[in-house]
Amino acid sequence: MSIQKAVVLPVVGLAIGLTAFQFGNVSATEETAWGPQDRPTYTWNSPADHVTFNSITDNPYLGDERNFVRVREAGVENPEKDEITLEIGKEYTISIYYHNNASPSLNDSGEGISRNTFVRSEFPSYLNAGETGAAMAYISASNAEPKTVWDTTYLKAEQPVYLNFVPNSAVIHNNGTTDGTILSGDELLGSNGVTIGHYNNMWGMIPGCNEYGGYVTYNIRVDAPAFEVDKKAVLADSSDQFADEIRVIPGDKINFRLHYKNTGTTEQTNVTAHDVLPAGINYIEGTTYASSTRHPEGSKSPEVLFGDGLNLGAMIADEDAWVTYSATVADDMNIFPCGETVVYNAAYFASNAGKNNDKTKITVYRACEQTPGELPNTGPGEVIMAILIILVISGGGYYFYRSQKMLRKVSENGTESSDIVRDGIVKDEK
């Protein structure tokens, strides 16, 4: 933001300086939410006979001073505005102009100098999509009339956003010795405001006349609350990769993995993992572990994943977290009868940014019983190949890699088919 200092302006016969920002002349109306709206107003050539702030209606640089709060994108040389549409990841500068309108002729006696002068501001911390929020500022002095004046600028969001104060961004700008001083953001945005002044030995005091006017500016950052959730599974003790879908048989052990990623631009708090297992998929107690980008070593977690949820704490922007656990497939004909049964394992994460979920598809296959004498009474290799053909036709291609091991064992060791195949199911190699 450019600041032009020591601009010489003739006011009541004096050559004085004014700090000038690139403000456009925007009229003060009821829509700009300024106040008090019934306060007396003054002109550039006819200032007030007492301490009062921002009540001149024809300021050559500002226009109507009652409209004294503006906003602009930080670091961009565009005029300040009364309203702006926010973009995620960008910073915006709120500018608050202050000017004691008392005549300079009152300064020598001290009557025109404001006392206990402070600026206070506020802005919304969160906006929903399509919502417009107000950033307001108040200028007060104990001997001013009216004691406090205020104005508003508007912030429009096109999607849900968080607004955060940028640390150390509150600065006072003027032609005095306090120019460039960093102000307390906590005080500026607090209930009492932050004290301002023109000279370092006169904090709280602003003499009358435009050469003692100035600006308080601070930045806000627009952050988006967003995160992704991914749920995957893999057959335990296998070399397969975690996947969105898995095929198993009764008695199998499954490893599950929940993945959270903060894809937003702000820290998210109270990140909590939740999981819901379908009937027939039974959790193995003591197998829940949690880890994150900052704590990759992980740790065993309490048994709360399937209850109130596992709280992972706060996650900064771009941070990942993982929760893993194991479960077994019940050997229950009522839940998993002959053929294929599809169930889903759902999981979700919740945080101050909302809720997001994902699920894993689990296909449980149970081989059907074979009718005696259905298969030809031939050698073990032919029996196994016949069974494999039947399994492939009925969706049993999942076991092909197991069957290949069995075939090799038969051909190498001459093992009887009854040692490898029972009731139409290929047994694991010992």
Angle of CA points 144, 155, 314, to nearest 5°: 105
Q: 402 in a domain, yes or no?
A: yes
Domain range for 293 is 227-366
Q: 138 in a domain, yes or no?
A: yes
Instruction: Give the whole-angstrom CA distance, residue 327 versus residue 337.
Output: 19
Amino acid identity, position 369: E
Instruction: Give the whole-angstrom CA distance, residue 306 versus residue 424.
Output: 36
- Of 103, 95, 99, nearest in space to 117 by CA: 99
Q: 171 in a domain, yes or no?
A: yes
Structure token pair of residue 240: 């397969």
**The pLDDT value given to residue 293:** 94
* Sign, Cα dihedral of 5, 9, 11, 15: positive
Backbone torsion region of residue 387, taken as left when φ is above 0, otherwise alpha when ψ lies between -120 and 50, otherwise beta: alpha
Structure token pair of residue 142: 């104990």
Tell me: do 105 and 152 sit in the same domain.
Answer: yes
Q: Among 189, 222, 255, where does a domain finish?
A: 222
Could you give the 3-state DSSP secondary structure of residue 16? strand
Instruction: Give the whole-angstrom CA distance, residue 348 versus residue 180.
Output: 48
CATH code of 239's domain? 2.60.40.1530
Tell me: do 295 and 322 sit in the same domain.
Answer: yes
Could you give the 3-state DSSP secondary structure of residue 152? strand
**The pLDDT value given to residue 415:** 41
**The pLDDT value given to residue 371:** 54
Q: Among 190, 222, 254, where does a domain finish?
A: 222
β 132-140/354-366 pair status? unpaired
Residue 358 β-bridge partners: 347
Tell me: do 41 and 177 sit in the same domain.
Answer: yes
**The pLDDT value given to residue 370:** 61
Instruction: Give the whole-angstrom CA distance, residue 132 versus residue 83.
Output: 9
Tell me: do 193 and 231 sit in the same domain.
Answer: no
Residue 198 β-bridge partners: none
Q: 373 in a domain, yes or no?
A: no
Amino acid identity, position 270: N
Instruction: Please tell me the number of Cα atoms within 13 Å of 27 on its side-chain side.
Output: 3
Backbone torsion region of residue 317, taken as left when φ is above 0, otherwise alpha when ψ lies between -120 and 50, otherwise beta: beta
Structure token pair of residue 291: 């880890």
Q: 89 in a domain, yes or no?
A: yes
Structure token pair of residue 150: 């205020």
Residue 4 β-bridge partners: 20
Q: 137 in a domain, yes or no?
A: yes
Q: 372 in a domain, yes or no?
A: no
Tell me: do 276 and 422 sit in the same domain.
Answer: no
Residues whose CB falls within 8 Å of the CB of residue 10, separated by 6 or more in sequence, listed in order: none
**The pLDDT value given to residue 286:** 95
Domain count, the chain: 3
Block means of pLDDT (10 residues each) for the chain, 430 residues, are 28 31 42 85 97 97 94 90 94 98 97 98 94 97 98 94 94 98 97 97 96 97 90 95 97 97 90 96 96 93 94 94 97 96 95 89 90 50 48 45 42 40 38
Tell me: do 20 and 136 sit in the same domain.
Answer: yes
8 A C-beta contact, residue 104 and residue 12: yes
Tell me: do 279 and 326 sit in the same domain.
Answer: yes
Angle of CA points 418, 423, 426, to nearest 5°: 70
This prediction has a pTM of 0.62
Instruction: Give the whole-angstrom CA distance, residue 209 versus residue 11.
Output: 8
Tell me: do 109 and 179 sit in the same domain.
Answer: yes
Q: Among 187, 222, 257, where does a domain finish?
A: 222
8 A C-beta contact, residue 227 and residue 351: yes
Tell me: do 391 and 343 sit in the same domain.
Answer: no
Angle of CA points 264, 70, 124, to nearest 5°: 40
Instruction: Give the whole-angstrom CA distance, residue 144 versus residue 199.
Output: 19
Tell me: do 159 and 57 sit in the same domain.
Answer: yes
Tell me: do 246 and 299 sit in the same domain.
Answer: yes
H or E segment to which residue 328 belongs: strand 320-329
Tell me: do 181 and 277 sit in the same domain.
Answer: no
Q: 97 in a domain, yes or no?
A: yes
